[in-house]
A and B are shown apart, each in its own frame.
Chain A
Amino acid sequence: DAGITQSPRHKVTETGTPVTLRCHQTENHRYMYWYRQDPGHGLRLIHYSYGVKDTDKGEVSDGYSVSRSKTEDFLLTLESATSSQTSVYFCAISESISGTSGYEQYFGPGTRLTVT
């Protein structure tokens, strides 16, 4: 999985509790992304980062926050988990977003989150 790890791989939590998912890369890629994947919706971007401390919202950012204090780590936080946030979460990295070589994204193994 291109030097990308996600932790935890599985988590069950209760509604209203905070949850933090971690993505760690060893590729030194500038760009990092968090997606969620749900049946019928495909992969949808939550937040992305274009450098340390530089982040921006994606298509489905409500209820989520992110932080990137080091190049290699990108954290996704659900401040107060809801059942609608039950999903599989994928982290991805890329070297570039401008269409030069390295534009493709490499994905981690995913985290299955269940909110009861």
Chain B
Amino acid sequence: SQKIEQNSEALNIQEGKTATLTCNYTNYSPAYLQWYRQDPGRGPVFLLLIRENEKEKRKERLKVTFDTTLKQSLFHITASQPADSATYLCALTGANNLFFGTGTRLTVIP
């Protein structure tokens, strides 16, 4: 069965620095990979989608890379702010649905 690992449960970073979150997967070859943000007590919110033939995708301060050879995606938040503190989930496409990782809880320290 497919396995999705996000590098760590929690990541603390100083405000203004770049946060880098990792998503690794095995036993799978997804055509698309998505990143979501989840705040406590709320549902996940879609951030970015990247296709297997795209190496990199950007949206404002966010950047996602997708390396199908390494079976890895990196999610970067540049110039991080305390408001970026949240749990970030990666999700891989299945035949008819998404498979989610357990998430990385990011805390940006002022």
Q: Which B12-60 residues have a C-beta within 8 angstroms of A?
A: 31-32, 34, 41-46, 49, 51
Stretch at the interface among B65-73, B74-82, B97-105: B97-105
- Give the size category of B's interface with A: 20 to 34
Q: Assess the A56–B96 pair: CB atoms within 8 A.
A: yes
Chain A residues with CB under 8 Å of B4's CB are: 42
Q: Write the nearest CB–CB distance from A93 to chain B, whole angstroms.
A: 11
Q: Assess the B46–A104 pair: CB atoms within 8 A.
A: yes
Chain A residues with CB under 8 Å of B102's CB are: 40-42
Q: Assess the A99–B32 pair: CB atoms within 8 A.
A: yes
Q: Assess the A109–B98 pair: CB atoms within 8 A.
A: no
Chain A residues with CB under 8 Å of B100's CB are: 35, 42-44
Q: Assess the B32–A48 pair: CB atoms within 8 A.
A: no
A74 within 8 A of B: no
Contact of A104 among B43, B49, B99 (CB under 8 A): B49
Q: Write the nearest CB–CB distance from A46 to chain B, whole angstroms.
A: 10
How many residue pairs, one in A and one in B, have C-beta atoms under 8 Å apart? 56
A90 to B89, CA, bound (A): 15
Closest A residue by C-beta to B42: A109
Chain B residues with CB under 8 Å of A59's CB are: 99
5 more A-B residue pairs beyond the given contacts A43-B89, A109-B42, with a C-beta to C-beta distance below 8 A? A33-B97, A40-B102, A41-B102, A92-B43, A105-B98
Q: Which A42-60 residues have a C-beta within 8 angstroms of B?
A: 42-45, 48, 50, 56, 58-59
A20 to B54, CA, bound (A): 42
Chain B residues with CB under 8 Å of A35's CB are: 100
B7 within 8 A of A: no
Q: Write the nearest CB–CB distance from B88 to chain A, whole angstroms.
A: 12
Q: Assess the B31–A42 pair: CB atoms within 8 A.
A: no
Q: Write the nearest CB–CB distance from A61 to chain B, whole angstroms.
A: 12
Q: Could you jot down 6 A-B contacts, CB within 8 Å?
A: A45-B99, A48-B97, A104-B46, A105-B34, A107-B44, A109-B42
